[in-house]
Amino acid sequence: MINLTINGKQIEVEDGTTVLNAARQNDIKIPTLCDHKNLTPYGGCRLCVVEVKGMRVPIASCTLPASNGMVIETETDSLKKSRNIILSLLFSERNHFCPFCQVSGGDCELQNAAYDEHMTHWQMQPQWTNFPVDTSHSRFILDNNRCILCRRCIRACAEMSGNFTLGVEERGSATIVVADTNVPLGESTCVSCGSCVQVCPTGALIDRSSAYLGHDKNMTVTRSVCRGCSLGCGIMIHTRDNRIVKITGDYENKNAGTLCETGRYKTLDEKRTRLTTPMKRVAGQLTATSWDDALTILASNLTSNKNSIAALASTRLTVESMAAFKSLFADGLGNDVVTSIEEGRPTALQAKYAEANGESIEGKLDTLRTADCVLVIGADLSETHEVASFYIKRNMPKGTRLIVVDPSENGMDDLANINLKPKAGTDEAVFDAIEAAVIKEGLARTDAKTSKVSLDVALSACGLAEEDVIAVAHMLAEAVAPVIVYGKGVSAFGGEAVMDAMVRVAKLTGASDSERRGILSVKGEANSLAAAQLKMDVPFDVKNRKVAYLAVGDDFVSKRLVKALDDIPYVIVQASYESALTERADLVLPVSIWAEEAGHALNTEGRVQFAEAALTGPEGVRSNLDLLNEVAKLLNVKLNDDWRTALTARTSVVEIEM
Amino acid sequence: MTKPKISSDWMAGCSGCHMSLLDIDERLLEIAELADIRATPITDLKEPDESGVDVGILEGGINNSSNEEVAHRMRERSKILVAFGDCAVFGGVPALRNMCGTQEALQRAYVDIESNDESGKIPNDPELAVMSNVRALHEVVDVDLHVPGCPPDPDVIYYVLKELAQGRMPEMKDENLHWH
Amino acid sequence: MTQKITIEPVTRIEGHAKVTIHMKDDGSVEHAYLHINEFRGFEKFCEGRPYFEMPSITPRICGICPVSHHLAAAKAADALQGSPAPRPANLLRELMHMGQVIQSNGMHFFELSGPDLLLGFDADPALRNVIGLAHAAPEIALKAVGLRRFGQEIIRTLGGRRIHPNFAVAGGVNKALQASERESILTGIEANLETAKMGVSIMKDWAQRNMEDINKFAVLKSGYMSIVNPDNSLNLYDGDIRLVDRTGKQLEKFPGSDYLENIAEHVENWSYLKFPYYKKMGFPEGVYRVGPLGRMNAVDSISTPVAGEEHRIFKTLNNGDPIGQTLYFHYARMIEVIFCIERVVELLDDPDILSTDILNTRKDYKGEGVGILEAPRGTLIHHYQADETGKLTKVNLIVATGHNNWAMTEAVDSVAKTYIVGGEVKEGMLNRVEAAVRAHDPCLSCSTHAVGQMPIQIEMLDPDGQVVKTISRN
């Protein structure tokens, strides 16, 4: 512990605490600009300078470690003058036009800092030289006239998404934030995660989609969970008058504010037509009808065909809805084809494995976030689960190594330290080869002496070069915290044997042991794991079925799925948007979208999270859960609403945290 | 005790600050009781009293020769000179012209623009002011009080006028200080 | 040898104007010029900004009618990005616009020109202002303040503040109207409608008592322009632009996007304000007037009951000919306030007014857009061109008062010649010259997209250039 004095107050803090944080922990406010609670301190803006007894000049408190006996003053007249000059210099360096800037009037940290110092004017006027305005990016604009060079954007691009697109060029007053080697943002390596926009303290980085739609004080903010993939990143949904204005990352969730383009922006790109009234097919045409009529038709249809239903639900639905769906169609009406839109492809393999072995072999995402070596197989993370790729990328400059195993092109190929391109469908042989290499090189962490398959045989089967596999063996086994990440590529095509091989490699390399589970799978969409736990992971086999019931919610539906319904006599769809599926349907029931329905989500690492509803759906629309409950009532089925027990009925591949 | 005299004028602004002053609604009459309102753009006296006024208020920055004369004259004749609104305090939106250039702006407006006919040329009659770069008031004369805002809120203006009319300098902070 | 009288500045207008009156030897007026002495350059310095910032930048052209620019900019941005605003958004934008016209026209009538009408052109200059009016006619003054507040509060309710609000955006608006806010606006209708009617009545009385002035004070012949509905009734928010000639016959009716085919601008060396005119007739034959007088002449009818009847009466003033008397601008101005108040009720009663379907985020990017509006002072045109990333490459603004430039210069010349005779120049005469400008309720910041100010002093010089008389206003 460290003891120091700030403004005459004696305080005690942990070793390694900065003076700035020491002050914060004791309710002493020191103004800052370049500092950000989620980014490493930079010490560039100089606004947080404090007087330290015995030191010649004021020191930036954000980068000053507290030490014993330090005596700090934060509110002397001289410091107040300094802050005024510092802010004035910041303003005069560029061209700040408060009147028409999108964040002016409450949301600009620079302006608010000026107000806090009671600044009424600038001591120095700007030179009015033109700084570039980069409008090349489709999601946001970089106006260098408003930039204070705090480098938060650069740090966010490095520490949140690990993309390292942003940097600075030149020096002194010519310093400027640039993308890559100073190319337009729209032509750069930027992946549109929006982390830079989220952290920018001024109007230098402006979201096109939320510009001028209101200030923070006009917004209602709802804590929720992203439904873009199975990672379940925490999000804050900003709404005004029942419209989502923007989505930002939740700093208090495990993703610590990081989001990808899918979670932050793509939701707002919605172009489909919303369904607001039930429809039934009459003489070949879909016509609007009342809920009463639609439900009567539905009840009669399902009652007459109650054992001949093929039922499918989207994994974007809440856990409650999925559990009710399962309870209704499988338990209640006794059908065996009750599945999710994923049909078990990203999850069935490992779910069966866990059940058969009674073991949760997978770890939490924290394991990935702290890994110093990651092997990714059967997954293109940057395409499907982008934030997982961020967790890897941002640690690579600190020494984290990446091995990518993918027979085809993978979005992380260029970053990988080692690229393995085996023959397609040979995942088991790849693991066998690594196992053999680890043992051959004497790197095994267990006392295993022989591999299941010899190195030559394994290499021949998967078509990899020996030196590459040996290098992988070293990289994994010599790492302190290695992790194997696998995805649908393994789950959809592999058998139990590949799981066995993976687990052996994990144990041999120290990825998994008694204290650690160094295996993760990214699975599929939002409630992919829930589908697995509810055993909604079988193929959607519609042969000889009389009715298909598809609760797709706001999900997208493939052509293949629509085609599969060709010979079904009657198709009932509960959906939010018009699609080829609703065009095919005989009965269409309009339901809520993800943001309109509160409920739980079970992410890929087994965490159950509650997502609040942020919007009210249009009139005429029901929530997925309400509709399913109503259908159950009409069919005299008593639903089991204990979804918590339902989720833990079978051993999960990753421990479920309620 | 005679009432303090207040005079105002506007330069390279948009008149929004004066309109915000009118937005103090009936409170204008209260101010008129406390102070003697002399020349302003909306009263018919044409210039601040030669004998001087207690408070001179200027909206707008300086972007031509005539603004410069107005600024100097108000400074000479005022005990306290107030820079009123973002244009006077900082340069404001009109200062965007500094970034493209005065001649370029004149050329675009009077010669190049799509709706101009063949008579298009930059006016230069001696009756007209000569354009210059855009400056904040304090770049041209000494300023005693800055009241930023675009425009300043009517409540802020009411507070400022009331204080000045009673011989006090207003405290520009908290809800009385905004630049937007 | 001609002498020159200079009036500097013209007060109780928005913006900077200067008048020079060139005298003949016999003491009559040779010619009077209106010099608009300001220029800022929005059409150039907005280049390089993203187009969707214009609803926030362009209101800074003018603090009296920022809403005009705010809405015209949003409409131009809608067109540029190919996102037509949903119907509820257009209703709400029109509601804000009505608030603006009410406050601006009302303020001009009572607080800017009112002192001339209610206290007299020749009243003591020290008292001939809104405060003097408040002392002389407190009830009228209070009602006037109330009328302005009513309009301003509509703007503040929707856009967060009275001046330079944040409400209209490309594709719609950013806030829906709450039921309680709607109720609150409705409570102000009755009293303010009475105030507006009182204004019309005051003007009618004044006209009766001053018929000689009405018929000799800058009675001009010109075309007239307004935005209209398909049936040629008045629409201040949207529609086609209609131009009628000096007999009232329609010359053109065109969508805003075709403005360049119909309107050109002439430049004179002695004014920073350009002179728009009807291209096909050339300059100055093709000049026309806008604003209240222009609109009352260019439209066939007004759709709301009280204003509609007032308009019908107004149209009979010259036995069916267009109304060319400049002083009738004031009468027309107050009829419009009645229309706007009635229109506010229509809008608030529309079933879509509380809807949250207020923003169209789908884009079909065009890269060019024109937004038009009838600002309080006349037809306003915003025209933007942007590159494929949305950065503005060209901006053209033809702003309301600008169309009236010819009319104002003519009026100044006419009034100077009518009232300054025999070489004696009384202060009241000069005030009348200023009143000729004032009647147009010019917004010179708007029209030159700039502002400047000058003091007034009048010197009378004898043929040898010696000062014989100095009149200044203080």
A221-256 tens-digit pLDDT: 999 999 999 999 999 999 999 999 999 999 999 999
Q: What percent of chain A has pLDDT over 70?
A: 100
Q: Please tell me the predicted confidence (pLDDT) of residue C89.
A: 98
- Whether the CB of B120 is below 8 Å from some CB of chain C: the reply is yes
CA C233 to centroid of chain Cα atoms: 19
Residue B122's identity, in one-letter code, is I
Is the pLDDT reported for residue A400 higher than 80? yes
User: What does the block give as tokens for A655?
Assistant: 């421990």
Beta-carbon contacts of B172 under 8 Å, excluding residues fewer than 6 positions away, are: A118, A120, B145, B146, B147
Interface of A with C in 253-272 (CB under 8 A): 268, 271
Decide: A602 and A529 in contact? Cβ < 8 Å. Answer: yes
Q: Which of residues 140-169 of B touch C (CB under 8 A)?
A: 150-151, 153-154
> Read out DSSP for A424-483?
TT-HHHHHHHHHHHHHHTT--SS---S-SS-HHHHHHHHT--HHHHHHHHHHHHH-SSEE
β C240-244/C223-228 pair status: antiparallel
For residue B33, is pLDDT > 60? yes
Complete edge-to-edge strand list for the sheet that includes strand A9-13: A9-13, A2-6, A71-73, A49-52, A59-60
The C-alpha angle A30, A31, A36, rounded to 5 degrees, equals 100
In this predicted model, what pLDDT tens digit does every residue of C175-223 receive, in sequence order?
999 999 999 999 999 999 999 999 999 999 999 999 999 999 999 999 9
Note the pLDDT of residue C458: 54
CA distance B58 to chain C (A): 11
Pairing mode, if any, of strands A570-575 and A547-553?
parallel
A127, A133, A184, B68 from B99: Cα distances, Å: 9, 13, 22, 20
> How far does the CA of residue C395 sit from the closest CA of chain A (Å)?
17
Query: Looking at CA atoms only, how far is residue C471 from chain B in angstroms?
Result: 11
Residue A198 contacts B, CB cutoff 8 Å: no
CB contacts, 8 Å: C264 with chain B: 115-117
Paired with B36 in beta bridges are B5
Evaluate the CA torsion angle C137, C142, C147, C152 in order and state its sign: positive
Are the beta carbons of C472 and B46 closer than 8 angstroms?
yes
Computed over every residue of chain A, the mean pLDDT equals 97
Contacts of A391 (CB under 8 A, 6+ apart): A162, A365, A368, A369
Of B41, B99, B117, the CB nearest to C45: B99
Which residue from B29, B46, B97 is facing C45, i.e. has the nearest CB? B97
Query: Is the model's pLDDT at B46 over the cut of 90?
Result: no
Question: Number of residue pairs across A and B with CB atoms under 8 Å?
Answer: 59
Task: Determine what percent of chain A is predicted with pLDDT higher than 90.
Answer: 98
Contact B117 C266 (CB under 8 A): yes
**Which helix or strand (DSSP H or E) is residue B20 part of?**
helix B16-22
**Percent of chain C clearing pLDDT 90 (strictly above):** 70
Average pLDDT over residues C345-367: 97
Q: β-strand C275-278 against A373-377: which pairing, if any?
A: unpaired
Q: Is B51 on the interface with C (CB under 8 A)?
A: no
CA distances from B2 to A253, A511, B48, B53, B167 (A): 65, 88, 17, 12, 12
CA angle A243, A247, A249 (to 5 degrees): 155
Q: Which residues of A touch B86 (CB under 8 A)?
A: 98-99
Q: Do A118 and B177 touch (CB under 8 A)?
A: yes
The H or E element spanning position A389 is helix A386-393
Give residue C114's pLDDT band: very low, low, confident or very high (50, 70, 90).
Answer: confident
Q: Tokens for A623, please give them.
A: 């929530």
Q: Residue C18: what pLDDT?
A: 87
DSSP state of A107: S
| Cβ-Cβ contacts under 8 Å, B10 against chain C | 451, 453
- Please state the rounded mean pLDDT for residues C103-131: 87
> Could you report the per-residue pLDDT of C425-436, keeping only the tens digit for each?
788 888 888 888
Question: What's the CA gap between C345 and C98, in Å, rounded?
Answer: 10
ipTM: 0.96
Q: Using CB atoms, which chains have 3+ pairs under 8 A with B?
A: A, C
Chain B residues with CB inside 8 Å of A80's CB? Answer: none
What count of other Cβ atoms lies within 10 Å of the Cβ of residue B123? 21
- How confident is the model over B119-141, as pLDDT tens digits? 889 999 988 999 999 999 999 99
Query: Alpha-carbon distance C313 to A243, whole Å?
Result: 47
Q: What is the predicted pLDDT for the residue at C430?
A: 82
CA dist A425 → A378, A456, A470, A493, A494 (Å): 10, 18, 21, 7, 8
Q: A518-572, pLDDT tens digit by residue?
A: 999 999 999 999 999 999 999 999 999 999 999 999 999 999 999 999 999 999 9
Say yes or no: C362 contacts chain A, CB-CB below 8 A: yes
| Cβ contact A521:A410 at 8 Å | no
Query: Are A133 and C48 a contacting pair at CB < 8 A?
Result: yes
End-to-end Cα distance, chain C: 30
